[in-house]
A and B are shown apart, each in its own frame.
Chain A
Amino acid sequence: MNSEKENISTIIEVKGVHKSFKQVHAVQGIDLKIREGEFVALLGPNGAGKTTLVEMIEGIQQPDKGEIWILGRQWDGHADELHRLIGLSLQETRFIDKLRVWETLRLFSSFYSLDQHRSNQIIEMIGLQDKKKAYVVNLSGGQRQRLALGIALLNQPKILLLDEPTTGLDPNARRDIWSILLKLKEQSHTSLILTTHYMEEAEQLCDYIVIMDHGKILREGPKHSLLNDQDNEKLVEFSLEETITQPNKIFDDAPFAIDWDEKQQLGKAKISMVEKSLPSFLNYLSTKNLIVKNMEWRRQTLDDLFTALTGRHLDE
């Protein structure tokens, strides 16, 4: 069969994929490999193309160009098989209002020829034992999302696709979802693709981060290498007593690249080994007769990285 190929560690391979809707070029030539057991975050603002990419992996959108291989198979001719290997949770799914939690799980179990035992396991896993007999319509937003996640996990999927699973949830409900996923990470070899615009979510759950914007991958890599943690690089944010109007002229000979926001009158500099390098930075400022009003340093976040790449924040 020419549509089957062997690749042991790569679970999903996306090769040169394009997708357009009318005037919008939603996905513009994406290449991506996802390995077994890897938790991958597709991070980007609304309209970045994350959902379209996931929908193509999920098989409900066809790429205009390029190929998608899942466990050595393509969707064409393998739909039934792939449906058994993938679990997914959409941005928002409303299940049948007047069906109880256990009945909803029983219904979806029947699609995978699973028995009642598996439904009970899932109810325990998602912590809805007390709500087992509740109608879906009476569940809170967080409980519904946990049910959706439980349904996605019914078939013990090799690949789990979660499209913004915690959007609109309060912090506690979000953490409940995270703890289920972190437990899954420990206990199974499931690969996860998670789309989100919460950097905290991506940082908490995933080891591999793909930053997307305007249908393209801007940067990808293991979380620590993306954030340069191995160099112990910190982000120093500072403000000055003086108003700076021509930052390029003033900071052109700085020992570290300084990114100055004229509107906020706030400077950012990435500094390695900050404890050792900070005195030289302060010295530099005093030679320029600039007085520091406020200064703090912190670990670089994905939002900082995204801002550096696009000039915008993730939640814009």
Chain B
Amino acid sequence: MSRPIKFEQLGQLIIAYSKELIREPGVLFWGIVFPILMSLGLGIAFTKKQDIERHVAIVNTSDSENKKILNFLSNNGEIISGDNGEDTYKIILQDENMGNTTLYFEPMSWENAMAQLKKGTLGIIVEEKEGYKIYHFDPSNTDAQLTYMKISAVFNSRVLQSARNDVVKPLTLRGTRYIDFLIPGLIAMNVMTSCLWGLGYGVIDKRSKKLMRRMVATPMKKSHFLFSLITVRFTMNLLESGLLFLFAWLVFGVIIQGSIFALIIVFLAGNLAFSGLAVFIASRTANTEIGNGLINAIVIPMMVLSGIFFSYYNFPEWSIPYIQKLPLTLLTDGIRGIFIEGGGMSAILIPSILMVTFGTIFFLFGLRIFKWY
């Protein structure tokens, strides 16, 4: 009668997989350094108050009848020499709270303006025709729309400074900044990619190398093989997420406002969901390239849809209920709720149950069709 748990086997498997993981510099970079760099880059990009620079093309200026814009700019702006030899006019809209906006008006030909618009170096082309100003820009581009509003105000001499009676108070409180929104998303995304690549791809790789077949030709318990892989992955995820949080706390002052216990529960549930999915994906595939494609097919749509970087409420309304049921959305919303809304067990109970159920179903089904050799 064999014992259900063989501690020596299990211990050696865990040691071997841990060594395999930590001895691979790429694993440490992609698992720990990369999410930190991403949070640093995005955090700085979206948290720091920045001066804005926008370039505007002025076309059709050779017509002597249409010199109103140039006259206005030479009276109100600073003349600097442009790249194309023509004078460029610079107007600065001062704003202490939101940052200054510097507008560069560059006279150029229509062809040149179109070429630059296509390259994205400018967002708006202004044309003067029979005394009227015509603005050319993509109305679905919100940045171009905002620039249009600013320059039309400039031309109509309405605003050269922000409204005197309005008070703009930037939100710098913890929990309301972009970095507070981003960090929980990055943690959730890391759990998903780490489980699917680390665990799923790891199993496929061991199968394709025939290592798994060699191992099951010994008295090794098959359950120990998977259990040790999952244990190492859970531990690694915990370490990666902990370091990412530590970094965000030290650099950006990100804090966990809700229950730590609830956070552990939702984190474990998320790990379970993606481990189950990883075992299912890896259950039969022996080809690492197919495995690669399969994992990408799952990871990329969820990364786009689940509101890691930006809110999923930007998607069409009919799709929101479906997006909210995705495991990555459940995990992201769960962690985010605890981080920034101060949520507790009641907020994450149902999402956690859903994730555990999801993971268990995929795990059991994957195990049923699992190909050991």
Q: Which of B20, B210, B213, B217 contacts A96 (CB 8 A)?
A: B20
For B27, the closest partner residue in chain A by CB is A98
A135 to B24, CA, bound (A): 12
B220 CB contact (under 8 Å) in A60, A103, A111: A111
CA A199 to CA B329, docked complex, whole Å: 62
Query: Least Cβ distance of B19 to chain A in Å?
Result: 6
Instruction: Given A108-B218, A113-B8, check contact A99 B213 (CB 8 Å).
Output: no
Q: Nearest CB to that of B8 among chain A residues?
A: A110
B9-26 residues with Cβ-Cβ distance < 8 A to A are: 9, 11-13, 15-16, 19-20, 23-24
> Could you say which residues of chain A place their CB within 8 Å of the CB of B11?
110
Q: How far is the CB of B286 from chain A (nearest CB, A)?
A: 13
User: Chain B 218-257, CB within 8 Å of chain A: the 1/0 string?
Assistant: 1110000000000000000000000000000000000000
Contact B210–A92 (Cβ < 8 Å): yes
Structural contact, B219 and A110, CB atoms closer than 8 A: no
Let me know if B217 and A86 touch, CB within 8 A: yes
User: Chain A interface secondary structure, helix, strand, loop or mixed?
Assistant: mixed
State whether A90 touches B19 (Cβ < 8 A): no
The range of chain B's interface size is 20 to 34
Q: Which of B16, B24, B211, B218 has the most CB of A within 10 A?
A: B218
Q: Which of B9, B19, B220 contacts A99 (CB 8 A)?
A: B19
User: In the complex the two chains form, is A110's CB within 8 Å of B20's CB?
Assistant: no
**Chain A residues in 8 Å Cβ range of B20:** 96-99
In the complex with contacts A83-B218, A92-B210, A112-B218, A99-B16 CB distance below 8 A: yes
Give chain A residues whose Cβ lies under 8 Å from the Cβ of B218.
83, 108, 111-112, 155
Q: How would residues 197 to 221 of chain B score, 1 for a CB under 8 Å from any chain A CB and 0 otherwise?
A: 0000000000001110111011110
Please indicate the chain A residues that have their CB under 8 angstroms from the CB of B217 in the complex: 58-60, 83, 86, 88
Please list the residues of chain B having a beta carbon within 8 angstroms of any beta carbon in chain A.
2, 6, 8-9, 11-13, 15-16, 19-20, 23-24, 209-211, 213-215, 217-220, 373
CA distance in complex: A135, B23 (Å): 10
CB-based contact A110/B209 at 8 Å? no
Interface string of A35-52 (1 = CB under 8 A from B): 000000000000000000
**Nearest A residue (CB) for B16:** A107
Closest residue of B by beta carbon distance from A148: B214
Q: Pick from A80, A90, A106: contact of B214, CB below 8 A.
A: A90
B206 closest partner in A (C-beta): A96
Is A298 positioned at the interface, with any CB of B under 8 Å from its CB? no
| A94/B211 in contact, CB under 8 A | yes
Which residues from chain B contact A94 at a C-beta distance below 8 Å?
209-211
